[in-house]
């Protein structure tokens, strides 16, 4: 991924940069955000496939019946739609043999908009969960190495049986939330007698569990997958890797300078037999120097032409990939812990690679500055997948703390957050100083990797668009949120504009002032964002032709006589647990007519097993301007199956309650139709209906 840096040298004649805001025209409709009519993928099963294979995938969600294509962001994956209805789409995905392993973005494309989802590519032969496998006696046998695709419903347990050899080390790695699944999974390992040998809930930052276990004797064993607190759903899928295969927990260094050769170490298990390591989509082949069970030493020659950014380091046949950063600053790798009494001397600028391997461990680095000014102490850990929560601090030569930072802003999960510190400190006089890094909670372990940058500040900024897709409605002024994050002491305004607009669409520029945006949390407390949010107005003419275009957001500012220009990158919310940059940076915009009516019911309702009834609430948004009440009915043959009770809905009402009673109870689906004054305004997405079993467990298994 490119850092997308473009710095334009200042000309003597450019003494300042003009900033302006787009004035809304008098007749422009500046409306609230409309409910989405774009397709939405809520579940993907299986959520990946093996390189060199073809996979039949079922996508569940809403507004899927008009999806015309599935578009992958990167090469090596192709799709063909087999069937579709409103709540389900079936497609075949072909995966090339040389496709880069790991998670890949894809988009569902329709005339009403697009939606981004994810697909994982792996090395192992794959198999599907086969129910019933809810108990040890029903455990599904698997042959290693294997990758099992499964789904955990509420209260569900999946057992798998495997054979381990004497002294064999086997890894069990579950990919769920990292792949966009809502499943918060738990892994447990048992012997044949039912004794629990190992257990893990959260191993990775985003909740997925992982186990590595050395078996003292050969025999038959069980691994169990379940949801935390027995949670689950029809779309709570997982991909479980099982095998005595290479597993890389981390690599040191995790960064290299362009135009240099770096020697690094990979740490993990079962590494003795690895012979192929590549960077990215086989951009660079590593040279293996030495391997052992838990360590591999390799050499990478980084070409000068490689674009700076974050890549993945791939070990052929390994479960996980190690993030690897390509940059331009000199690198240093810590070989022994630098202590308070014996700090490591470094020369600025520098990027230090290290591991906080023990509890309460802190690393100290001494550096000299020739002149006062602003200096940056920035750590990268959590954004590279490390569990380390770094805290950095600046001290004078006598050890007095001058400044420190844990996170640049408060974080309650409601807004994108930067979890790694980016401390900009004023150093008043020339001399020697100490930089320290430790874990916020004084934790430490072998995988607590950091990348610590110390340098003189060069004011800069980065830009993010908080959506990879957007439907822009005709005849309206649509507003898209963009965040400007100031780096290394940037304190000047930044202008944001949009390029590559389709015909009939215009956009104004807005200015992000150097003032951080605030918002209220769930308890009305004030939080400060690490940056400034602006809304870019995009006006779509009433007669604009239908189009889908990749919009380019560009930001420009001037500070200290230098003009800096950056292209924005899109990001998406990831299962409510964090924010992630998309594989492609530009926002895909779709031009469409606004709906006359949007009905948003729950995607699934459950009929009681005795009365065969269900009651639910749905959201209603009318845009037709009519004054007649809205009447809800069922569509087509569903009227012969369902008795629907719902009061007429006044025009300004935004919520309604619906009661259903089935004449022929069975798991099925229905669509609600809204009419007013005898005119059909619109219909709801498909609602899946299931019958509650006498045991209280929902019947049916639409998720698989």
- HEC-encoded secondary structure of 97-163: CCCCCEEEEEEEEECCEEEEEEEEEECCCEEECCCCCCCHHHCEECCCCEEEEEECCCCCEEEEEEE
Q: What average pLDDT does the segment 433-441 reach?
A: 97
DSSP at 34: P
Please report the pLDDT score of residue 331 as a whole number: 94
Pairing of strands 548-559, 494-499: antiparallel
3-state secondary structure of 431: strand
d(CA 328, CA 319): 30
- Does residue 574 come out as left (phi exceeding 0), alpha (psi in the -120 to 50 range) or beta? beta
Tell whether 359 and 448 lie within a shared domain: yes
Question: Which residue has 């850990």 as its token pair?
Answer: 381
Measuring CA to CA, how many Å separate 559 from each of 83, 486, 489, 490, 531? Answer: 55, 12, 10, 7, 17
Residue 378 included in any domain: yes
Q: What average pLDDT does the segment 282-287 reach?
A: 88
Provide the pLDDT confidence category of residue 178 given band limits of 50, 70 and 90: confident
Is pLDDT of 217 > 90? yes
Tell whether 396 and 452 lie within a shared domain: yes
The residues that bridge with 471 in the sheet, in sequence order, are: 590
Nearest one of 224, 225, 277 to 248, comparing CA atoms = 277
Is pLDDT of 2 > 50? no
Tell whether 422 and 476 lie within a shared domain: no
What mean pLDDT value characterizes the chain? 88
Question: Which residue has 């590494």 as its token pair?
Answer: 271
- Is 407 in contact with 393 (CB distance < 8 Å)? no
Q: What letters, b where the CB count within 10 A reaches 16 and e where it falls short, cover 433-467?
A: bbbbbbbeeebbbebbbbbbbbbebbbbbbbbbbb
Q: Which two tokens stand for residue 675?
A: 């009419």
Measuring CA to CA, how many Å separate 486 from each of 423, 490, 508, 518, 531? Answer: 12, 5, 22, 15, 6
Residue 429 included in any domain: yes
Pick the range with the lowest mean pLDDT from 231-235, 476-480, 600-604, 645-649. Answer: 600-604
Domain end (from 243, 277, 308): 243
**Which strand (E) or helix (H) includes residue 401?**
strand 401-405
Residue 116 included in any domain: no
Provide the pLDDT confidence category of residue 29 given band limits of 50, 70 and 90: very low
Residue 485 included in any domain: yes
Measuring CA to CA, how many Å separate 513 from each of 15, 374, 411? Answer: 19, 21, 22
Length of the chain: 704
Tell whether 267 and 222 lie within a shared domain: no
Provide the pLDDT confidence category of residue 129 given band limits of 50, 70 and 90: very high
Nearest one of 454, 383, 463, 399 to 425, comparing CA atoms = 454
Please report the pLDDT score of residue 486 as a whole number: 95
Residue 703 included in any domain: no
Tell whether 205 and 258 lie within a shared domain: no
- What are the residues whose beta carbons fall under 8 Å from the beta carbon of 679, sequence distance 6 or more? 624, 626
Residue 226 included in any domain: yes
Dihedral sign from CA coordinates of 685, 690, 692, 697? negative
Q: What average pLDDT does the segment 419-435 reach?
A: 95
Provide the pLDDT confidence category of residue 383 given band limits of 50, 70 and 90: confident
Cβ neighbours of 561 (radius 10 Å): 11
We report the CATH number of the domain holding residue 471 as 2.60.40
Share of the chain above pLDDT 70, in %: 91
We report the CATH number of the domain holding residue 207 as 2.60.120.380
Tell whether 231 and 256 lie within a shared domain: no
Q: Which two tokens stand for residue 421?
A: 């510190």
Domain end (from 304, 327, 350): 327
**Number of domains the chain is built from:** 5
Tell whether 169 and 259 lie within a shared domain: no
SS (H, E, C) 567-627: ECEEEEECCCCCEEECCCCCEEEEEECCCCEEEECCCEEEECCCCCEEEEEEEEEECCCCC
Question: Which residue has 């990879």 as its token pair?
Answer: 468
Please report the pLDDT score of residue 282 as a whole number: 80
- Is 667 in contact with 702 (CB distance < 8 Å)? yes
Please report the pLDDT score of residue 693 as a whole number: 65
For residue 35, the Cα-to-chain-centroid distance in whole angstroms is 22
Is pLDDT of 159 > 60? yes
Q: What average pLDDT does the segment 269-273 reach?
A: 92
Tell whether 260 and 361 lie within a shared domain: no
Dihedral sign from CA coordinates of 632, 633, 634, 635? negative
Please report the pLDDT score of residue 169 as a whole number: 97
Please report the pLDDT score of residue 211 as a whole number: 96
Tell whether 575 and 621 lie within a shared domain: no
Please report the pLDDT score of residue 579 as a whole number: 74
Please report the pLDDT score of residue 1 as a whole number: 36
Tell whether 360 and 317 lie within a shared domain: no
Tell whether 471 and 377 lie within a shared domain: no
- Is 386 in contact with 549 (CB distance < 8 Å)? no
The domain of 143 spans 126-243
- Is 99 in contact with 157 (CB distance < 8 Å)? no
Rg (CA), the chain: 28
Q: What average pLDDT does the segment 144-165 reach?
A: 96
Tell whether 296 and 407 lie within a shared domain: no
For residue 116, the Cα-to-chain-centroid distance in whole angstroms is 11
Domain end (from 306, 327, 348): 327
- Is 348 in contact with 456 (CB distance < 8 Å)? yes
- Is 586 in contact with 480 (CB distance < 8 Å)? no
Q: What average pLDDT does the segment 207-234 reach?
A: 95
Residue 92 included in any domain: no
Is pLDDT of 19 > 50? no
Q: Please return the burial class of 47, using the count of CB atoms within 10 Å of its CB with bins 0-12, 13-18 and 19+.
A: buried
Residue 212 included in any domain: yes
Please report the pLDDT score of residue 333 as a whole number: 94
Of residues 450 and 418, which shows the higher confidence score?
Answer: 450
């Amino acid at each position: 991924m490119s850092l997308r840096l473009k710095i334009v040298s200042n000309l003597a004649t450019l003494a300042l940069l003009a900033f302006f805001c787009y004035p809304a025209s008098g007749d422009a409709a500046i409306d609230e955000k409309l409910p989405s009519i774009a397709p939405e993928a809520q579940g993907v099963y299986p959520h990946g496939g093996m390189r060199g294979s073809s996979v039949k995938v079922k996508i569940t969600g809403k507004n899927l019946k008009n999806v015309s294509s599935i578009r992958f962001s990167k090469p090596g994956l192709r799709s063909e739609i087999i069937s579709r209805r409103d709540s389900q789409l079936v497609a075949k995905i072909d995966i090339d043999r040389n496709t880069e392993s790991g998670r890949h973005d894809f988009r569902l494309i329709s005339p009403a908009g697009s939606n981004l989802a994810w697909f994982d590519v792996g090395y192992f032969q794959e198999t599907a969960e086969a129910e019933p496998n809810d108990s040890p006696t029903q455990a599904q046998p698997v042959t290693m190495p294997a990758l099992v695709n499964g789904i955990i419903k509420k209260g569900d347990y999946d057992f798998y049986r495997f054979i381990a050899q004497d002294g064999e080390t086997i890894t069990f790695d579950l990919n769920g939330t990292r792949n966009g699944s809502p499943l918060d999974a738990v892994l447990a390992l048992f012997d044949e007698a039912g004794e629990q040998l190992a257990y893990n809930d959260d191993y990775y930052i985003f909740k997925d569990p992982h186990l590595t276990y050395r078996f003292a004797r050969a025999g038959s064993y069980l691994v169990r997958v379940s949801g935390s607190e027995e949670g689950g759903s029809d779309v709570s899928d997982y991909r479980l890797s099982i095998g005595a295969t290479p597993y890389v927990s981390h690599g040191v260094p995790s960064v290299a300078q362009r135009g240099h050769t770096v020697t690094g170490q990979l740490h993990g298990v079962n590494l003795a037999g690895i012979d192929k390591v590549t960077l990215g989509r086989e951009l660079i082949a590593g040279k293996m120097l030495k391997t052992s069970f838990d360590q591999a030493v390799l050499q990478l020659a980084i070409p000068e032409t490689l674009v700076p950014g974050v890549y993945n380091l791939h070990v052929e046949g390994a479960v996980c990939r190690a993030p690897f950063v390509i940059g331009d600053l000199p690198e240093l790798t810590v070989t022994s812990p630098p202590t308070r009494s014996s700090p490591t001397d470094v020369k600025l600028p520098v990027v230090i690679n290290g591991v906080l391997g023990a509890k309460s461990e802190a690393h100290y680095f001494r550096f000299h500055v020739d002149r006062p000014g602003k200096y940056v102490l920035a750590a990268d850990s959590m954004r590279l997948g490390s569990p380390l929560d770094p805290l950095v601090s600046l001290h004078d030569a006598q050890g007095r703390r001058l400044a420190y930072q844990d996170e640049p802003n408060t974080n309650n999960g409601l807004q994108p957050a930067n979890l790694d510190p980016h401390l900009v400190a004023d150093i008043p006089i020339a001399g020697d100083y100490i930089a320290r890094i430790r874990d916020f909670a004084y934790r430490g372990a072998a995988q607590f990797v950091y990348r610590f940058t110390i340098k003189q500040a060069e004011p800069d900024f980065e830009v993010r668009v908080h959506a990879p897709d957007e439907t822009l409605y005709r005849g309206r002024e649509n507003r898209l949120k963009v965040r400007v994050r100031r780096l290394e002491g940037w304190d000047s305004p930044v202008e944001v504009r949009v390029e590559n607009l389709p015909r009939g669409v215009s956009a104004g520029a807005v200015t992000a002032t150097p003032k951080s945006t605030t918002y209220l949390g769930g308890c009305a407390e004030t939080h400060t964002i690490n940056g400034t949010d602006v809304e870019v107005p995009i006006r779509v003419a009433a007669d604009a032709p239908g189009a889908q275009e990749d919009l380019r957001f560009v930001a420009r500012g001037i500070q200290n006589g230098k003009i800096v220009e950056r292209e924005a990158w899109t990001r998406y919310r990831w299962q409510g647990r964090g924010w992630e940059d998309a594989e492609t940076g530009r926002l895909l915009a779709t031009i469409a007519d606004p709906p006359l009516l949007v009905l948003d019911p729950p995607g699934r309702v459950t009929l009681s097993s005795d009365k065969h009834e269900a009651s639910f609430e749905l959201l209603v948004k009318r845009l037709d301007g009519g004054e007649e009440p809205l009447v809800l009915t069922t569509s087509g043959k569903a009227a012969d199956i369902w008795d629907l009770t719902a009061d007429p809905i006044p025009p300004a009402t935004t919520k309604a309650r619906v009661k259903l009673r089935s004449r022929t109870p069975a798991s099925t689906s229905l669509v609600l139709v809204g009419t007013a004054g005898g005119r059909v305004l619109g219909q709801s997405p498909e609602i899946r209906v299931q019958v509650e079993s006498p045991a209280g467990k929902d019947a049916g298994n639409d998720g698989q």
